[in-house]
Amino acid sequence: MKALLKQAEEEKQRAIKLESHSRRNNLNFFNIPEQEDETAIKSKSILRNFMEVWLKLNKEDANDILFERVHRVGKPSASEGKPRPLITKFTFHRDKEFVLSKAKNLRGTDFAIARDFPEEIVDKRRRLVPFLKDTKENGQDAKLIYNKLYINGQRFRPQTVSTSDQ
């Protein structure tokens, strides 16, 4: 029974890693207003406009970025609530990193950009963020990479985070 449980956990971790790998060129964009009857083509246009206006990319750079897919995530809300996130799969990793580097232009706005991770990784990262913030406030070097926190170059393993974090 123990061997089967171990094998099941290993398979679960492998599936999470594969899912994460398939999302490596994705970014989520939050609070970009939706348009009525928005299609994938309209979503690309909305995103390109957003990159020009808010990320301060010039029109040529925004138009040179290639997307495999751009679409909204989740069901449309019947009420006028928050807009659904816009998920974007970039054709090229360098384009994704370039756009992500411009996210600093969103400080002080309601907009946000985030890497796309599986739910299990997002939960693990969420539990590590308080340690990251405390460490940085104390003037130490800290980096959150994927689902691991490094403080002054050393891997940090708090007791409250699951031990199956490969």
Question: CA-CA distance, 26 to 29, in Å (whole number)?
Answer: 10
Query: Band of the pLDDT at 73, cuts 50, 70, 90?
Result: confident
Question: CA-CA distance, 137 to 75, in Å (whole number)?
Answer: 39
Over residues 94-116, the pLDDT tens digits come to 999 999 999 999 999 999 999 99
H helix or E strand, kind and range, residue 69? strand 67-72
C-alpha 145, offset from chain centre: 12
Question: CA-CA distance, 67 to 65, in Å (whole number)?
Answer: 7
Over residues 111-152, the pLDDT tens digits come to 999 999 999 999 999 999 999 999 999 999 999 988 899 999
Over residues 147-166, the pLDDT tens digits come to 899 999 999 987 755 545 44
In the chain, domain spans? 24-116, 120-156
HSE on the CB side for 101, CA within 13 Å?
Answer: 7
The two tokens of residue 121 are 């990784």
C-alpha 17, offset from chain centre: 15
C-alpha torsion 39→43→45→51, nearest 10? 180
Mean pLDDT of all residues in 61-80: 86
Report pLDDT for 75.
79
82, pLDDT greater than 70: yes
Question: CA-CA distance, 96 to 104, in Å (whole number)?
Answer: 14
40, pLDDT greater than 80: yes
| Ranges 78-82, 87-91, 144-148, most confident | 87-91
Report pLDDT for 159.
74
Query: Band of the pLDDT at 78, cuts 50, 70, 90?
Result: low
Report pLDDT for 79.
60
Strand 112-115's sheet: what is its strand order? 67-72, 86-90, 26-30, 112-115
Average pLDDT, the chain: 90
Which CATH superfamily hosts domain 24-116?
L1 transposable element, RRM domain (3.30.70.1820)
